[in-house]
Amino acid sequence: MIKVLFVCLGNICRSPMAEAIFRQKVKEAGLEDKFSIDSAGTGNWHIGNRPHEGTLQILKDKNIDSANITARQVSSEDLKEFDYIIAMDAENLGNLHRIKGREASGEIRRLLDFIPESEVVDVPDPYFTGNFEEVYDLVEEACNELLTYIRKKELQ
């Protein structure tokens, strides 16, 4: 089982959007039985909450399932359990490296690293910008590339 964890600050905007989009792409590829996909936040403000209404709306508009996604905080155990820990920005990437400990075994990367030609390196936080469409476009493209990367590395 390939385990993928998406991480942002509060786990209500970017990372649950990435979780839902990536889950959809894995389903479309017929690989659901090979993946476990989740999301978490480095902060604890929204634990137990559903995603932000902007995230829920854009996922609904794009016909992407967001059922059963609730905010939680990332733990050091996650960094041992997941194979790919995908941060939405440099701040969360740094937070992950600080909490990972010596036993962390997962590959920790920034999502937009998978789009090398992108001029944007961090997924903007729509909680502050309000631009959920821009975030969707970036996350959707990067999730395509992430799935291609994982398939080449794990499923060849």
Contact 26, 147 (CB under 8 A): yes
Instruction: Examine the pLDDT at 27 and tell me if it is beyond 80.
Output: yes
83 carries an active-site annotation: no
Write down the pLDDT at residue 100.
Answer: 80
Structure-block tokens of residue 68: 């059963």
**Catalytic residue among 38, 78, 89, 125, which?**
125
What architecture does CATH give domain 2-154?
3-Layer(aba) Sandwich (3.40)
CA angle 135, 75, 109 (to 5 degrees): 45
**Catalytic residue among 13, 14, 23, 38, which?**
14
pTM value surpassing 0.75: yes
How far is the CA of 56 from the CAs of 86, 129, 139, in angstroms?
20, 16, 14
Instruction: Examine the pLDDT at 14 and tell me if it is beyond 90.
Output: yes
Residue 78, judged by CB atoms within 10 A of its CB (0-12, 13-18, 19+), counts as: buried
Helices (H) and strands (E) in the chain, counts: 6, 4
Structure-block tokens of residue 156: 């060849």
Nearest to 82 by CA among 117, 108, 121, 57: 108
125 carries an active-site annotation: yes
pLDDT in tens, 61-70: 999 999 999 9
Instruction: For residue 104, give the amino acid letter.
Output: A
Q: Locate tokens 């959707």: which residue?
A: 140
Segment 109-120 mean pLDDT: 94
Domain boundaries, the chain: 2-154
